[in-house]
Amino acid sequence: MKKIVLFLTIITTLLFTGCDKEEFLDQPIQGRQQLDDFFSNAQNAENFINGIYRKINGESWWQVNFQRQINEMASDDNWAGNTAQPRPDITGIAQYNVFPGSTYFNSFWESHYIGITRANIALDRIPGVDIDADKKEQFLGEAKFIRAFFYFDLVRNFGGVPIVSSYNEILDPSINDKTRASVEEVYAFIESDLEEAINSLPRKSEYAPADLGRATKGAAQSLLAKVYLYQEKWGDAQDMAFKVMQLGEYILEPNFADLYKVGNAHGMESIFAIEFINNPVFSEVGGQFPITNGSRGDRGWGWGSPTSDLENAFLSEGDNIRLQSTIIKHGEPVFGDPTVTEFDGKPSENKSGRTNRKYYTPVADRPEPYARGQIPGQYIHIRLADVILMHAEAAYFNGDETAAKNSLKLVRDRVSLNTNMSLSGAALRDAIWKERRLELALEQQRLYDIRRQKINGVPRITLILGPNGSFVKYNTEDNTDPFETTNLLEPMDSGSLFDPNVHMLWPIPPEEIQLSRGNIVQNPGY
């Protein structure tokens, strides 16, 4: 936790910019100021709030978002992908040969606690700012939502973590004596923040266009529904998800392909998203994924390649609408980009010859230079279809199969798939889980889902990964995909080293344990 203190100078002396809309967060750094100056008026207070948003996606490719991409590689939806640049620190995580001191775990932890510190400063200082009461309430709601967002990320990845609820705690030397709170305590803290945020935040429709991207009442309710879902508080999750569905603020995009279309940021389905812009002055306000995730034959780095197992899941359902908007395959046209009739997936340097279509930027929309940190687009953290499927899952486990099927049907109707309304029991459960995989594929949800979902008390991930897992068996015994089985620079047994006694969580960065003088205890097995 001492590292937080080490970064305090940066946090409190610079006016940070965010990475959402140009009108909203694209503001020049103001230079060194005293902490009090940040909150001398409404504009400075708003600028400080904007700086908290910046930590949600990280401030460089290797920070938060790339760890989310690595998490996807550690599931059955992605290979590590890039076989031209051996990176044991990346492939090791993907293959569960985990190095606890990985840069990516460190940066994930560090970035989140810097964001939490910024939120705590805002919560401590904004009550004393002489500004409009409604605006003050909004700022406090935003800070609490983002703080909850950070802690939810931390607890899902590391388990119980130290709770720091005030800026004053950071200044107290006893900060180094902080121990890990229990998972239950962290979730209770998150719930409290979100309950207060719900009461403080405006609806999406109440924001001016320039402010879209800020936290909203619906975003706080949606995140709280997910927090309930992860704790298996089925009734609470069902009720809260239904409230979002009934807000009248969000509608499923009629055309699935429009979800990630450049120029459709904060669209009708989006509940909480970070928008990227092309701005050469500020080098990191653009999207990172189109480059880190993009094909090596298309000026990308090739990390995180969709698996044939994921493709087969779409094909087994006859789900061509979502498949074409999710996976680009070597040698085939790119859906929605008429300039690319034969995509170069570079199978000689990529495990699967496949690329994530959701974060692909059509040629006509690419700035020059086409470079990391300059590409427009958005990263959607929460959208309506996710909430509807949370409602379906919670309703099922809450014994309300009719509501579960109705919600399942809502999502499937959008992509012209029939829904078997006679489904019941385990078959209905499996249909809902499969729908989450297809609908939210490559949106960094899969690893978390298969960790938390259980069959007879056993986490699904143990049935998918590990030496006897279905994904490992498919790749080592049955897989005939010409791209995957030809390029063996990434082993076919990805996921075989998964150990449920160790890998349900990632390791606490050893440096943090050292700085805490051992008060922070490492996760078992690391």
How high is the pLDDT of residue 3?
29
Q: How far is CA 339 from the centre of its chain?
A: 30
At 5, the pLDDT band (50, 70, 90 cuts) reads very low
At 285, the pLDDT band (50, 70, 90 cuts) reads confident
Convert the pLDDT of each residue in 413-434 to its tens digit.
Answer: 999 999 999 999 999 999 999 9
Give the least confident one: 253-257, 336-340, 513-517. 513-517
How high is the pLDDT of residue 85?
93
Burial 477-508 (b: 16+ CB within 10 A, else e): eebebebbeebeebebebbbbbeeebbbbbbb
Query: Are domains 1-201+500-526 and 204-271+382-461 of this chain identical in fold?
Result: yes
Q: Which two tokens stand for residue 517?
A: 């003088």
- Strand (E) positions, 340-393? 354-356, 377-383
Which has more confidence, 33 or 475? 475
Distance, in Å, from the CA atom of 295 to the CA atom of 301, rounded to the nearest integer, reads 6
Q: Report, as an integer, the average pLDDT of 381-397.
A: 98
Question: Between the CA of residue 330 and those of 243, 403, 490, what are the distances in Å?
Answer: 42, 40, 18
Distance, in Å, from the CA atom of 182 to the CA atom of 9, rounded to the nearest integer, reads 30
To which residue do tokens 């996606």 refer?
57
To which residue do tokens 């029939």 refer?
418
Distance, in Å, from the CA atom of 318 to the CA atom of 320, rounded to the nearest integer, reads 6
Is a pLDDT exceeding 70 seen at residue 34? no
Handedness of CA 405, 411, 414, 415 (dihedral sign): negative
- Strand (E) positions, 389-500? 454-455, 458-459
Q: Report, as an integer, the average pLDDT of 41-48.
A: 91
DSSP class of 204: G
- How many other CB atoms are there within 10 angstroms of residue 288's CB atom? 27
Distance, in Å, from the CA atom of 352 to the CA atom of 213, rounded to the nearest integer, reads 34
Convert the pLDDT of each residue in 434-472 to its tens digit.
Answer: 999 999 999 999 999 999 999 999 999 999 999 999 999
Distance, in Å, from the CA atom of 53 to the CA atom of 64, rounded to the nearest integer, reads 12
Is a pLDDT exceeding 50 seen at residue 347? yes
Domain boundaries, the chain: 1-201+500-526, 204-271+382-461, 291-364
Question: Does domain 204-271+382-461 bear CATH number 3.10.450.50?
Answer: no
Q: What is the DSSP string of 386-419?
A: HHHHHHHHHHHHTT-HHHHHHHHHHHHHHTT---
CB contact set of 171 (below 8 Å; sequence gap of 6+): none
Q: How far is CA 320 from the centre of its chain?
A: 25
Q: Which two tokens stand for residue 252?
A: 């499923």
Distance, in Å, from the CA atom of 203 to the CA atom of 253, rounded to the nearest integer, reads 19
Largest CA distance in the chain: 67
Convert the pLDDT of each residue in 187-209 to its tens digit.
Answer: 999 999 999 999 999 999 999 99
Give the percent of the chain with pLDDT over 90: 83
Is a pLDDT exceeding 50 seen at residue 178? yes
Convert the pLDDT of each residue in 78-92 to its tens digit.
Answer: 999 999 998 999 999
Is a pLDDT exceeding 80 seen at residue 23? no
How high is the pLDDT of residue 277?
85
The residue type of 162 is P
SS3 351: coil
**C-alpha angle with apex 357: 430 to 345, nearest 5 degrees?**
115
How high is the pLDDT of residue 364?
96
How high is the pLDDT of residue 283?
63
Distance, in Å, from the CA atom of 225 to the CA atom of 245, rounded to the nearest integer, reads 11
399-406: list long-range contacts, CB under 8 Å, 24+ apart: 400/238, 401/428, 403/238, 404/428, 404/432
Is a pLDDT exceeding 50 seen at residue 15? no
Is a pLDDT exceeding 50 seen at residue 7? no
Helices (H) and strands (E) in the chain, counts: 23, 8
CATH code, 1-201+500-526: 1.25.40.890
Question: Between the CA of residue 365 and those of 197, 278, 310, 339, 360, what are the distances in Å?
Answer: 36, 11, 27, 11, 10
Cα-Cα-Cα-Cα dihedral of 306, 439, 228, 455, to 10°?
Answer: -70
Is a pLDDT exceeding 70 seen at residue 495? yes
Convert the pLDDT of each residue in 95-142 to its tens digit.
Answer: 999 999 999 999 999 999 999 999 999 999 999 999 999 999 999 999
Q: What is the DSSP string of 105-166?
A: HHHHHHHHHHHHHHHHHHHHHGGGS-S-HHHHHHHHHHHHHHHHHHHHHHHHHHSS------
- Strand (E) positions, 146-277? 270-276
CA atoms within 13 A on the CB side of 25: 26
How high is the pLDDT of residue 278?
84
Distance, in Å, from the CA atom of 185 to the CA atom of 118, rounded to the nearest integer, reads 21
Distance, in Å, from the CA atom of 164 to the CA atom of 307, rounded to the nearest integer, reads 39
Distance, in Å, from the CA atom of 356 to the CA atom of 328, rounded to the nearest integer, reads 6
